[in-house]
Amino acid sequence: GRANDLGIPGVPMTRTRFLGTGIALPERVVTNDDLSQLMDTSDEWIKTRTGIRERRWVVPGETGTGLALKATRSALDIAGLGADDLDAIVYATSTPDHSAPGNGVYLQHLLGAGPIPALDIRTQCSGFVYALSVADGWIRSGLFRRVLVVGAEIQSTALDVSTAGRDTAVIFADGAGAVVLGPTDDDAGILAFDLHGDGAYAEKLWVDAPGSMHHPRMSHGQIDAGRHFLRMDGKEVFRHAVVRMPESVRAVLGKTGHTPADLKLLIAHQANLRIAEVIQRSLELRDDQVYNNIMWYGNTTAATIPIALDECVRAGRLARGDLIALTAFGSGFLWRSAALRW
Ligand code: COA
């Protein structure tokens, strides 16, 4: 046996491994030219500032839990498990189907899983890494064995698609990713997390209404004022994101005795391709050490990392034992990273 986290010799260490990954994206492709029909923008502006070429937006009838169900089935297939094998669900989304209850229980029901616990995580862009840290704690403590972690988002219905909302409307999009996690005693698995938040910036990227501080919680006045739309101070988000993500990647790798040069792959939250490029330069990573797909999907908030991870798995970019880092930054502000061996 090895020393466990508490340094107790002879006690075998349980770690959390990825058993399967899956994704689901709406079929409807929305190009930059499509957006130019709705608002004063251009393919050139969007590509230059964000790297995005197209994204997926749902059509009425497609839901977050519907996409999550598809992604989960695919992840369970890869894991060789059924819904009955799951012990718990952690569902990261800032855009649930309804205000309450959260999406976790809807997914549990759609899956036909047993009466297992389901926890919704509302930490926006960094929701998936936060959800992973919760699932990892549950698995390593022995509370649950097989945990489903979902990052899924429907942002398109929260966007102002007129010229007034063009700064956010061209960036955010819809999609879902799911991973099935389980315990392992070998060298693979999640090694460390680095988690931070600073609420001083809460209103730099937020949705004001509906909210319980408003009387009434939801009103025609709010809607007329567009307070139900996602609002962002893009420059402020950019400025913090390019500092916090590299800092956090160095910190989480430091906890494992590694540096960025040791990475097989960094998957950074797909907020904006320009942000991803600054992170890559700042960590001095080669092109083959990073993965970006924002060009095709836009920013799907909590779903960007599990979608990217699944694409890397399916493309054969990850081999057993590879050192990987995940990092995210977003609304809160909240930022967090994970280091793992595949
Ligand atoms: N199409 C055309 N013009 C647009 C536009 C769009 N979609 N969105 C904004 N503009 C205009 C602005 O109105 C402004 O016009 P003005 O100079 O006449 O006032 C001009 O473009 C420049 O706007 P500005 O906000 O200064 O641009 P920017 O260089 O900061 O780029 C972002 C804007 C949003 C691309 C950039 O700030 C950014 O990427 N921020 C990070 C966003 C992010 O990653 N969010 C997710 C975090 S999880």
CA of 234 to the centre of ligand 1 (A): 6
Whether the predicted pLDDT of 300 surpasses 60:
yes
* Closest ligand 1 atom number to CA of residue 168: 34
Q: Whose CA is nearest to atom 26 of ligand 1?
A: 235
Measuring from atom 43 of ligand 1, which residue has the nearest CA? 271
Specify whether the CB–CB gap between 297 and 55 falls below 8 A: yes
Q: List the alpha helices (DSSP H) in 220-318.
A: 220-224, 234-255, 273-282, 294-297, 304-314
Q: Which residues are tagged catalytic?
A: 125, 269, 299
Strand 147-153, strand 175-184: pairing: antiparallel
Alpha-helix residue ranges (DSSP H) falling in the chain: 32-38, 43-50, 64-79, 103-111, 127-141, 166-169, 220-224, 234-255, 273-282, 294-297, 304-314
Q: What is the pLDDT of residues 83-123, one digit of tens each?
A: 999 999 999 999 999 999 999 999 999 999 999 999 999 99
| Alpha carbon of 301 to ligand 1 centroid (Å) | 18
Tokens (6 digits) for 49: 């500032």
The structure tokens listed for 258 are 């590694």
Higher pLDDT, 5 or 303: 303
- Number of other CB atoms surrounding residue 16 within 10 Å: 24
pLDDT level of residue 9 (50, 70, 90 thresholds): low
Separation between Cα atoms, residue 149 and residue 91, nearest integer Å: 6
Would you put residue 142 in left (φ > 0), alpha (ψ -120 to 50) or beta? left
Question: For ligand 1, atom 5, which residue shows the shortest CA distance?
Answer: 167
Inform me whether the pLDDT recorded for 11 exceeds 70: no
Place of tokens 């988690």: 195
Q: Are 140 and 14 in contact (CB under 8 A)?
A: yes
Report the C-alpha gap between 248 and 267 in whole angstroms.
Answer: 13
Nearest atom of ligand 1 to the alpha carbon of 41: 1
Per residue in 168-207, pLDDT tens?
999 999 999 999 999 998 889 999 999 999 999 999 999 9
Mean pLDDT of the chain: 95
pTM of the entire predicted model: 0.95
Three-state secondary structure call for residue 31: strand
The residues near 312 (Cβ < 8 Å, ≥ 6 apart) are 265, 267, 291, 318
pLDDT of residue 3: 39
Asked if residues 162 and 41 have their Cβ atoms less than 8 Å apart, the reply is no
Tell me how crowded residue 183 is: count the other CB atoms within 10 A of its CB.
Answer: 18
The rounded Å distance from CA 204 to ligand 1 centre is 14
Tell me the mean pLDDT in the region 254-274. 97
- The reported pLDDT for the residue numbered 4 is 42
Q: Which of 178, 119, 133, 130 is nearest to 153 (CA)?
A: 178
Region class of 104: left (phi > 0), else alpha (psi between -120 and 50), else beta: alpha
* Nearest CA, atom 9, ligand 1: 167
- Looking from the CA of residue 49, the nearest atom of ligand 1 is 35
Band the pLDDT of 12: cuts 50, 70, 90. Answer: low
Percent of the chain with pLDDT over 70: 96
For residues 230 and 168, the answer to whether their CB atoms sit within 8 Å is yes
Choose one of 31, 46, 124, 167 to mutate for the ligand 1 pocket test, by most ligand atoms within 8 angstroms of C-beta.
167
Ligand 1 interacting residues, C-beta cut-off 6 A: 41, 45-46, 49-50, 125, 166-167, 170-171, 232, 234-235, 237-238, 271-272, 275, 299, 330
Grouping H, G, I as helix, E, B as strand and the rest as coil, residue 338 is strand
Tokens 């609002």 -> residue: 231
Predicted pLDDT of residue 197:
97
Compute φ and ψ for 264, nearest 5 degrees: -75, -40
Which run of H or E residues covers position 98? Answer: none
Ligand 1 atom nearest to 272, measured from its CA: 44
Between CA 341 and CA 325 the distance in angstroms is 9
pLDDT digits (tens, 9 = 90+) for 22-79: 999 999 999 999 999 999 999 999 999 999 999 999 999 999 999 999 999 999 999 9
What is the per-residue pLDDT for 157? 95
Measured distance CA(66)–CA(69) in Å, rounded: 5
Q: If pLDDT is split at 50, 70 and 90, which confidence band does 13 have?
A: confident
- Taking the centre of ligand 1 as the mean of its atom positions, its distance from the CA of residue 251, in whole angstroms, is 30
Output DSSP code: residue 118: E
> How far apart (Å, rounded) are the C-alpha atoms in residues 280 and 337?
15
Token pair of 295, please? 């060009």
One-letter amino acid of 261: A
Residue 6, pLDDT score:
45
Euclidean distance between CA atoms 202 and 302, whole angstroms: 17
